[in-house]
Structure 1
Amino acid sequence: MTTLPTLYGIPNCDTVRKARAWLAERGVEVRFHDFKKAGVQPAQLERWIAAAGWQKLLKRQGTTWRKLDAAAQATVIDAASAAALLRAHPSAIKRPVVEWSEAADDVTVGFAPEDWARRLG
C-alpha cells in the first residue's frame, strides 16, 4: 500500500482550493493538513526548506508578510531565520505544500498543474 500524498495549506486560500479541486477532478486522493489549525512541526518545516529552498517557501507577496514591520522582515536572511519566522507565522508559508511521498526531497511548493500532471503520470 502506498502512502497518500499530503497537501498542506489553509482551507480558505484560493490557491489551495484550486489545487484540491484539480486533484479531485483527476481522482487523486490526498490527505489535507490545515497548518493554520494543526501547525507545522519544526522538522517538517526544515524538510520543506531543504527540498524547495527557504526563498520559495516564504510567501513575500502575502498579507502576513506585508503586515510585518520592516525590522522583522529584515531579519529573514537565511534558512534558519526564515524557519523561525515561518514557525511564528505559518500563514507566511507559500501554499500549497505537497509531500508526494516519504522521500525527503519529494516536496513541491505552490500549485503547478503541469508539474503535478507529470508527477501523476
Structure 2
Amino acid sequence: MVTLYGLRNCDTCRKARKAMDGSGIPYQNHDLREDGLSAPLLEHLLEKVPVLTLLNRRSTTWRNLADEDKREMDANKARELMLAHPTLIKRPLLDTGDEIRVGYRDGDYDDIQG
C-alpha cells in the first residue's frame, strides 16, 4: 500500500493528496502531527532518504528552535529533533514501497502505478 506522509493543513500536502485521489491509486494518509512519528517509522523513512535531506530547515518549526539546537547538526541530532518535532520533516513524503519521494510538484506522481 502506498502511504502519503504529511500534515493535514499543509498546502503542498493537499495538492499531493488531490493528485493521489485523482490517480485512483489507493493510498493511506498519515498525518505526522496527528498520527505521530515513532522511532521505527523514522528509521523506515531514513532507509531510503538521507537524514539531512529529510530535515526541513525552511519550516516554521526550524526557525523557532533555539540556536543551540540548530548548531553543529549531524545525523543523530537531526533524528532526535525530528522525533521531538515531526513537523521538521520535509513533506509530503510518498512511500511507494520501492522508494520514498520527498516533496511534491504538479505531475510528480503521474508515473505511480497501483
Q: Same fold (TM over 0.5)?
A: yes
Partners in 1 of 2:5 and 2:105 — Cα distance?
15
Question: Is 1:89 equivalent to 2:82 in the alignment?
Answer: no
Match of 1:64 in 2: 61
Of structures 1 and 2, the one scoring higher in RCO (CA 8 A, sep 6+) is 2
1:50 Cα deviation (Å)? 2.5
Report the CA distance between 1:60 and its aligned residue.
0.6
Partner of 2:100: 107
CA distance in 1, matches of 2:95, 2:73: 24
Question: Runs of 5+ in structure 2 lacking a partner?
Answer: none
Deviation digits for residues 98-117 of structure 1 (CA, Å, limit 9, x no counterpart): 2212x5xx222211554422
Q: Distance in 2 between matches of 1:89 and 1:75?
A: 18
The yes-or-no answer on 1:33 pairing with 2:30 is: yes
Counting matched residue pairs gives: 114
Percent of matched pairs sharing the same residue:
35
- d(CA) in 2 for partners of 1:68 and 1:76? 13
TM-score by length of 1: 0.84
* TM-score calculated relative to the size of structure 2: 0.88
Which of the pair is proportionally richer in helix?
1
